Amino acid sequence: MRFEPALEQGRLLRRYKRFLADIQTASGELLTIHCPNTGSMLNCMSEGARVWFSRSSDPKRKLPGTWEIGETPHGRLAVINTARANSLVEEALRAGVISELAGFTALKREVPYGQERSRVDFCLEYPSGTAFVEVKSVTLGFADSHVAAFPDARTDRGAKHLRELSALARAGVRAVQLYCVNLTDVDAVRPAEEIDPAYAAALRDAVEAGVEVLVYGAEISPQGIQLVRRLAVHL
């Protein structure tokens, strides 16, 4: 995924009201831009840190730009725009980067499924059957550790998705939880039990039920983002 046009750089002044961020551009311009991240962004931002944003020329938009990448307090780069995760995964799927899911004959997004009326991120068709793939974006890192964690805030919705995948797996349908690690300098992912013990328990239950857990890490720069390698999972 290449950024066209190129991202602009600035400094974070503050994030507030969840979806707003005040920044100062390299030229000294003060802007309020959209922060497209529904999470807590724990360990993802600090005042004065570098940010990279895309600027919009659409006169109908209320805000002139979107926060895409941020520098974390630990010197890593994190993808702030969580909407990028599914596009990154689709790009990687079609390029064959995610070898465990290669060989599909059809790909559909946002397919309704499950007893709790969910929508799965990807439904992949194979000659041998169907695979349901749920994607989560991981950005929570820690100082002096190469192990990231998910989630960064309590997520009842995330636990629901694991229950849905577990039901599929018990019924003999291939079900996959894919963590898209949108954070540099990471080698593995673990459940953030200290933040959401219910999610951590649901993940372990899902693995017991037969849900596959895949973790792929992204290469991140102001020029573009791409999934490049499989990482470990620590349950």
Residue 206 has pLDDT above 90, yes or no: yes
- Residues 23-44: pLDDT tens digits? 999 999 999 999 999 889 999 9
Determine the average pLDDT of the residues in 50-79. 94
Task: Decide if domain 84-233 falls under CATH 2.60.200.20.
Answer: no
d(C-alpha 232, C-alpha 235), whole Å: 10
Residue 59 has pLDDT above 90, yes or no: no
d(C-alpha 156, C-alpha 146), whole Å: 26
- Within 96-231, residue ranges assigned H as helices are 156-170, 197-209
Residue 57 has pLDDT above 90, yes or no: no
Determine the average pLDDT of the residues in 171-191. 98
- Give the pLDDT confidence score for residue 114 in this predicted structure: 93
Residue 143 has pLDDT above 90, yes or no: yes
Residue 5 has pLDDT above 90, yes or no: no
Residue 60 has pLDDT above 90, yes or no: no
Q: What is the pTM of this model?
A: 0.95
- Give the pLDDT confidence score for residue 30 in this predicted structure: 97
Determine the average pLDDT of the residues in 147-167. 97
Find the range with the poorest average confidence among 59-63, 154-158, 207-211.
59-63
Could you give the percent of the chain with pLDDT greater than 90? 95
User: What confidence tier does 169 reach under pLDDT thresholds 50, 70, 90?
Assistant: very high
- Give the pLDDT confidence score for residue 55 in this predicted structure: 93
- Give the pLDDT confidence score for residue 39 in this predicted structure: 86
Residue 22 has pLDDT above 90, yes or no: yes
CA angle, residues 176, 89, 129, in degrees to nearest 5: 40
Point out which residues pair with 118 in neighbouring strands.
113
Determine the average pLDDT of the residues in 109-121. 95
Secondary structure (3-state) at 94: helix
- Residues 85-109: pLDDT tens digits? 999 999 999 999 999 999 999 999 9
In one-letter notation, the amino acid at residue 48 is G
- Cis amide linkage into residue 222, ω under 30° from 0: no
User: What confidence tier does 8 reach under pLDDT thresholds 50, 70, 90?
Assistant: very high
Locate the domains of the chain by residue range.
8-79, 84-233
CATH tag for 8-79 (out of 3.60.40.10, 3.50.50.60, 3.30.300.30, 2.40.50.580): 2.40.50.580
